[in-house]
Amino acid sequence: MISKADGVIEQSGVIPYRIKNGKIEVLLITSSTGKRWVIPKGMIEFMMSPQDSAAKEAWEEAGVIGQVLPTTMGTYDYQKWGRTCRVETFLLQVETVLEDWPEAKLRKREWLSVKQAVKHIQEAELKQILMALPDTLLTLQSPPE
């Protein structure tokens, strides 16, 4: 979907995460060219919500299935096709890691700590979103007062 006002390409993506040995791990994947580490993301599919579309990208690009949390983590911009792409990000609590998935031959994937993931990512706004992850998860797990 392209925003008519400024020509920005609207996308959605997920930050796949799991808790392993009491620590948060984030799954990053390589870009389709293999030159950068990114999160699963893509164009918002016709007749799909941003969350459902992002979950589909996680399956296609990273081979993970799980529950997408409904609240957005924020947005970040990057350049592609000579345009600005704006990605609305959501959390994906990973439930299944597949051994075979549609883009398995195209991409690498790696589980990293939040700190390591931040070092691998280029986009400053996405780094900020990742750094907020521990506090966000703590808030989501805290009972309401």
Q: For the domain bounded by 9-140, which CATH number is listed?
A: 3.90.79.10
Percent of the chain whose predicted confidence (pLDDT) is above 90: 81
Quote the pLDDT of residue 5: 57
Res. 15: pLDDT tops 60: yes
Q: What is the mean pLDDT of residues 6-21?
A: 94
Q: Which of 45, 60, 123, 125 is catalytic?
A: 60
Query: What is the Cα 9 distance to its own chain's centre?
Result: 16
- pLDDT interval class at 41 (50, 70, 90): very high
Q: Output the CA–CA distances (angstroms, integers) from residue 102 to 52, 59, 63, in the order listed.
A: 17, 8, 7
- How many beta carbons lie within 10 A of that of residue 26, not counting itself? 24
Which is higher by pLDDT, 144 or 81?
81
Q: What is the mean pLDDT of residues 136-144?
A: 74
CA distance 4 to 53: 21
CA distance 131 to 42: 22
Quote the pLDDT of residue 143: 56
Domain spans of the chain, in order of start: 9-140
Res. 90: pLDDT tops 90: yes
Q: Output the CA–CA distances (angstroms, integers) from residue 34 to 61, 99, 109, 136, in the order listed.
A: 12, 19, 11, 30
Quote the pLDDT of residue 3: 54
Of all helices (H) and strands (E), which one includes residue 93? strand 83-97
Q: What torsion do the CA atoms of 42, 45, 49, 54 make, to the nearest 10 degrees?
A: -30
Using DSSP bridges, classify how beta strands 9-20 and 64-80 pair: parallel, antiparallel or unpaired.
Answer: unpaired
pTM greater than the 0.75 cutoff: yes
Does the annotation count 61 as an active-site position?
no
Res. 89: pLDDT tops 80: yes
